Amino acid sequence: MEFMRLVLLVYLTASFAQAQPKSPASGAGKTSGCAIKVNEVGPIRGGMTIRAARQALPGATFKLTEEIGGQISFFAVTRAGKKLFDIYPDQEDGIKETSKVETIRVYDAECKTADGLYPGMPLIGAETTVGPLKRLVIEQSEKREYAQFEKLPSWLEIQTGSGEAGLYEPGQHCTAAYKADARVESLWVSHPIEHNVLDSDDACKVPEKK
């Protein structure tokens, strides 16, 4: 089984390389114009104001949106009907044009990390960029599913959906097994996080019903 998984991984890696658009010689080895880095996605950087973010994305629409429950607000950013980012500003003093960007959720497949990770990438392909999969985990309060990899930097999180990608045992919110068609749904970009609650073994247990 492990041998077949390795063969599939090599095959998919070759397919990804062939599918990528050719870059001019002068740009060889560089990421696309929308590079994902620590606390930065293309022209959007953590710490810049919402007003500055609007100016950095001409032609884009910023729609103020609330997460379910209304506790957190963010700007859903689209351009020509295409979903680009969710931009989460500082929430402490209310959402204003002077509020500063804290976290960026990336949907645009044109945005990539230096090693080639991008939204929409097959999950098995992500293992060629950020190392072997450690586990998938469903965050219990948000009901979001994240993929943790051996070499994933602390400023980056991979969301694979809301629990559709993994193959879970009853009573567990963590697994190392996933469906063949599982993909990276979005990438969460921020500053480095020293202690991630998803790293705890408690994140894997389904709470007992009272």
Same domain, 171 and 209: yes
Q: What residues have CB less than 8 Å from 27, skipping those under 6 apart? A: none
Query: What domain range is 198 assigned to?
Result: 116-210
Report yes or no on 180 lying in a domain.
Answer: yes
Domain final position from 106, 129, 164: 106
Same domain, 153 and 192: yes
Report yes or no on 21 lying in a domain.
Answer: no
pLDDT at position 208, please? 61
Pairing of strands 111-113, 34-37: parallel
Report yes or no on 147 lying in a domain.
Answer: yes
Report yes or no on 11 lying in a domain.
Answer: no
Report yes or no on 45 lying in a domain.
Answer: yes
Same domain, 101 and 42: yes
Same domain, 101 and 120: no
Same domain, 54 and 79: yes
164 token code pair? 């559709």
Domain final position from 81, 106, 131: 106
Per-residue pLDDT of the chain (210 residues; tens, 9 = 90+): 333 343 344 344 444 344 444 333 333 333 348 999 999 999 999 999 999 999 999 999 999 999 876 789 999 999 999 999 999 999 988 899 999 999 999 999 999 999 999 999 999 999 999 999 999 999 888 889 999 999 999 999 999 999 999 999 988 889 999 999 999 999 999 999 876 767 766 677 666 655
Q: What is the pTM of this model?
A: 0.81
**Closest Cα to residue 32, out of 103, 115, 101, 102?**
115
Same domain, 138 and 210: yes
* Torsion of the alpha carbons at 165, 135, 197 and 170, rounded to the nearest 10: 70
Report yes or no on 189 lying in a domain.
Answer: yes
pLDDT at position 106, please? 98
Answer for the pair 109, 190: CB distance below 8 angstroms, yes or no: no
Residue position matching structure tokens 């247990």 = 205
Same domain, 101 and 123: no
Domain final position from 44, 75, 106: 106
Query: How many independent structural domains does the chain possess?
Result: 2
Same domain, 133 and 92: no
